[in-house]
Amino acid sequence: MITVQGLTKQYISGGGWFGGPASITHAVTDISFDIPEGQTLGLVGESGCGKSTLGKTLLRLLPSTAGQVRMWGESVLELNGRPLQRFRKHMQMVFQDPYASLNPKMRVGTLVGEPLLIHEPNQGRSARKTRVLEMLDQVGLTGEAFQRFPHEFSGGQRQRIGIARAMILKPKFVVCDEPVSALDVSVQSQILNLLKDLQAAYGLTLLFISHDLRVVQFMSHEVLVMYLGRPMEQAASQTLYENPLHPYTQSLLSAIPDPKIYALGRPKREVLKGDVPSPKAPPSGCVFRTRCPIAEKQCAESVPVLREVRPGHKVACHLVE
Ligand code: ADP
């Protein structure tokens, strides 16, 4: 349903009359993947590795620098005007901080119903209210929420409001950008289960973004691991968790304090040290090489391509056979 080819996004700053020399942030470089209808692709990586940028570029919330995005075969990045608006109806986003993404001065009923007003303006007021009340019920909120303001709700309830707003148009594709990162662990699982229920009810296709591998594994059929804007490894969720091949994925997994991982018999690996290098000056060759425990000379010389090393298991590393 979603096909992404060579998607690249660079932020360019400065370079104006008084702005000094232009600097380029290589936020997303040459990312490709498919998401079959009704499935979830998890996108994982440390903070700053380009996950949000990728999600927003896919949805046309940011302009892309290069690449292709197809939804049902239609080239999303080339759409304009009415055809773009029609597509926007099918593509929605759930944000990390629901409070920041909800207008605090609007009542919940208006907030959740606003997309209907934009995309289905001919619908009458009472029909709209009925749709909003149904949606609130589906996300586990009572009709009483309709008249209240976002600040009157807890973090988990606000995320339910954010999800109701994203789902009211019955979209086909939703990007969830760190939707539970700001929530307590007990509330996290409620929201994750709600997203799964809605996925089953609507046949939703999801791109699920998180820095937390455990959350991504719970939600996703396939997982794509990113580092400094580039793909590192992609596999079915369970395969990636039980048999990670890329040194970066192995380091991410070994950083999880989960006895089950050690029970799988995997040797304990060194936890990643240092920070992600600046995407304004990414390392030559493999971008992970400066933190990689097994890097060799060739890793600085050429960029490893994401290639299939086992059926359905892709890795971008010169040293993985
Ligand atoms: P993640 O979601 O993985 O934390 P982001 O996509 O937010 O990563 O950011 C990727 C890189 O792009 C970071 O270095 C970030 O500072 C930079 N970046 C994000 N948004 C902008 C922007 N609007 N202008 C310039 N740089 C940006």
What are the residue boundaries of the structural domains of the chain, listed by start? 2-14+21-90+171-315
What distance in Å separates the CA atoms of residue 189 and residue 254, rounded to the nearest whole number?
22
pLDDT in tens, 16-68: 666 677 889 999 999 999 999 999 999 999 999 999 999 999 999 999 999 99
| Protein residue with least CA distance to atom 27, ligand 1 | 11
**pLDDT tens sequence across 149-179:** 999 999 999 999 999 999 999 999 999 999 9
Per DSSP, the three-state class of 115 is: helix
Measured CA distances, 309 to 132, 142, 216, 217, 250 (Å):
48, 50, 22, 21, 16
pTM: 0.92
3-state secondary structure of 68: strand
- Residue nearest atom 14 in ligand 1 by C-alpha distance: 48
- Per DSSP, helices labelled H in 139-269 are 155-167, 185-202, 213-219, 237-242, 247-254, 259-263
Atom number of ligand 1 nearest to Cα 45:
3
Contact predicate 248/225, CB 8 Å: yes
278 lines ligand 1 (CB under 6 A): no
Per-residue pLDDT 10s for the chain (321 aa) are 999 999 999 999 877 666 677 889 999 999 999 999 999 999 999 999 999 999 999 999 999 999 999 998 899 999 999 889 888 899 999 998 877 778 889 999 999 999 999 999 898 999 999 999 999 999 999 999 999 999 999 999 999 999 999 999 999 999 999 999 888 888 999 999 999 999 999 999 999 999 999 999 999 999 999 999 999 999 999 999 999 999 999 999 887 766 665 566 655 556 677 788 999 999 999 999 999 989 999 999 999 999 999 999 999 999 998
- For ligand 1, whether the C-beta of 52 sits within 6 Å is yes
CATH fold group of domain 2-14+21-90+171-315: Rossmann fold (3.40.50)
Q: Looking at residue 282, what DSSP letter applies?
A: P
CA of 48 to the centre of ligand 1 (A): 6
